[in-house]
C-alpha cells in the first residue's frame, strides 16, 4: 500500500471530511488519511503531514515525518511547537493574496469615505457632510511587503492611493516607496494616513504597534490590523483612540479569538470588529498549491522551502 499523507488538526469530523475531500481531489495520486484513523504502520511510514491546527503530540507520533505543510499563511503557532526541527511549509496562495488585497482595499475605502462617522451619525439622526478626501491625498503605509503586503500594495496603487511600505530587509516593490528595519520605521509612520498591518507574528513584531508608534502616525490616522492580534498593544490602541490621536481601527485579529464578550473593543465607537475574515484560506485553491508542493517533493525528494525558524516566519 502506498505511503499515506497525514491530515492533522482539523476542527471536528465535518471540517476534516470537507478538507480531505477537496485535498484528495487535487492530488488523486496521494493517499490522504486523517491522523486519528492511521494505523501503526501508516504512522511509522508517513513522511508528509498536512496540518490545520495540529496537536504537537500527533506530529510527535509520526517519527518519519520529513516536512509539514500548513493550510494557513501564518505559522506562529507551529514554529518551535514540535519535538524536532521539522521544515514547516506555510501556505502561499494566489487566491488568498487576492482576497486579502480585496479586504485591504475595501476597508481602506471604508476609512477614506468616512463610513464610521456616517454610521455613527445615522444612529443619532445627524445630517452632516465631511470633506471628501481623494485617494491621492490618503497615504497608506503597509507594515509587511511579503506575499500579502505586495499584492495589497498593487491593488491600492491601482485605486489611486499612494503606498509606502516597510519590511525587515530592503525591498524593491514597483511604485512603492520602501523602508526597512527598525531604523526605517519612524520615517514611514509619520507619513501614514492609514497604517495596514500585514507582518507575521514573531518575537520581533509582538507589541510592534504600541503607544509611541501610534503617536508617530499623522494626527487623525487610522489603523487596519489584518495580521495577528498581539502585534498591536490593545491598551495603547484604546488610549490612542480615546485621546483622539487615532480616528479609527479596523481589527480582524485579536489577542484571544473569538474576541471575549467582555472585551472593551466590541463597544468602542472607534473600533470595527471583524471575526478573522480578511484573508480566509480558499480550500480549493490551497489544495492545488499543496498538491504542487507534494508533487515537487515526490519528484525531487527535496521538501519545499520552509519557514526560517530563527526569524519565525
By the criterion CB under 6 A, which residues form the site for ligand NAP? 73-74, 96, 100, 144-149, 166-169, 171, 198-202, 204-205, 226-228, 252-253, 276, 278-279, 313
**What are the cell numbers at 133?**
478626501
We find the least distance from the C-beta atom of residue 287 to ligand NAP, in angstroms, to be: 17
Least Å distance, CB 198 to ligand NAP, is 5
| Residue nearer to ligand NAP on the CB measure, 46 or 178 | 178
Is the Cβ of residue 200 or residue 270 nearer to ligand NAP in the bound state? Answer: 200
Q: Could you list the active site residues?
A: 228, 276
Residue with nearest beta carbon to ligand NAP: 146
Helices (H) and strands (E) in the chain, counts: 10, 12
Least Å distance, CB 103 to ligand NAP, is 8
Quote the least distance from Cβ 254 to ligand NAP, whole Å: 10
Q: How far is the CB of 185 from ligand NAP (least distance, A)?
A: 8
Q: Which is nearer to ligand NAP, 203 or 267 (CB)?
A: 203
Other CB atoms within 10 Å distance of the CB of residue 41? 11
- Of the pair 32, 285, the CB lying nearest ligand NAP is at 285
SS (H, E, C) the chain: CCCEEEEECCCHHHHHHHHHHHHHHHCCCCEEEEHHHCCHHHHHHCCEEEECCCCHHHHHCCCCCCEEEECCCCCCCCCCCCCCCCCEECCCCHHHHHHHHHHHHHHHHHHHCCHHHHHHHHHCCCCCCCCCCCHHHCCEEEECCCHHHHHHHHHHHHCCCCEEEEECCCCCECCEEEEEHHHHHHHHHCCCCEEEECCCCCCCCCCCECHHHHHCCCCCEEEEECCCHHHECHHHHHHHHHCCCEEEEEECCCCCCCCCCCCCCCCCCCEEECCCCCCCCCHHHHHHHHHHHHHHHHHHCCCCCCCCCCCCC
Looking at beta carbons only, is 194 or 227 nearer to ligand NAP?
227
Residue 135 Cβ vs ligand NAP, minimum distance, rounded to whole Å: 23
Amino acid at each position: 500500500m502506498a505511503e499515506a499523507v497525514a491530515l492533522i488538526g482539523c476542527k471536528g469530523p465535518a471540517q476534516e471530511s470537507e478538507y480531505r475531500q477537496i485535498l484528495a481531489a487535487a492530488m488523486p495520486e496521494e493517499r490522504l488519511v486523517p491522523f486519528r484513523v492511521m494505523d501503526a504502520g501508516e504512522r511509522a511510514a508517513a513522511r508528509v503531514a498536512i496540518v490545520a491546527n495540529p496537536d504537537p503530540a500527533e506530529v510527535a507520533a509520526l517519527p518519519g515525518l520529513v516536512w509539514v505543510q500548513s493550510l494557513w499563511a501564518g505559522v506562529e503557532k507551529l514554529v518551535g511547537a514540535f519535538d524536532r526541527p521539522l521544515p514547516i511549509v506555510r501556505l502561499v496562495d494566489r487566491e488568498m493574496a487576492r482576497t486579502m488585497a480585496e479586504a485591504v482595499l475595501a476597508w481602506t475605502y471604508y476609512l477614506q469615505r468616512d463610513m464610521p462617522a456616517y454610521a455613527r451619525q445615522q444612529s443619532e439622526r445627524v445630517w452632516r457632510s465631511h470633506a471628501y478626501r481623494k485617494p491621492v491625498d490618503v497615504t497608506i503605509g503597509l507594515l509587511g511587503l511579503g506575499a500579502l503586503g505586495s499584492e495589497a500594495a498593487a491593488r491600492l496603487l491601482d485605486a489611486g492611493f499612494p503606498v509606502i511600505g516597510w519590511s525587515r530587509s530592503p525591498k524593491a516593490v514597483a511604485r512603492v516607496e520602501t523602508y526597512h528595519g527598525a531604523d526605517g520605521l519612524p520615517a514611514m509612520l509619520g507619513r501614514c494616513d492609514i497604517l495596514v498591518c500585514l507582518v507575521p507574528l514573531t518575537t520581533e513584531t509582538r507589541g510592534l504597534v504600541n503607544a509611541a508608534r501610534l503617536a508617530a502616525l499623522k494626527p487623525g490616522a487610522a489603523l487596519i490590523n489584518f495580521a495577528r492580534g498581539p502585534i498591536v498593544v490593545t491598551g495603547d490602541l484604546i488610549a490612542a483612540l480615546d485621546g483622539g490621536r487615532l480616528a479609527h481601527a479596523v481589527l480582524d485579529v485579536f489577542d484571544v479569538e473569538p474576541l471575549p464578550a467582555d472585551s472593551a473593543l466590541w463597544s468602542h465607537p472607534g473600533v470595527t470588529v471583524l471575526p478573522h475574515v480578511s484573508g480566509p484560506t480558499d480550500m480549493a485553491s490551497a489544495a492545488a498549491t499543496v498538491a504542487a508542493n507534494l508533487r515537487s517533493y515526490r519528484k525531487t525528494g527535496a521538501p519545499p522551502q520552509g519557514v526560517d525558524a530563527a526569524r519565525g516566519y
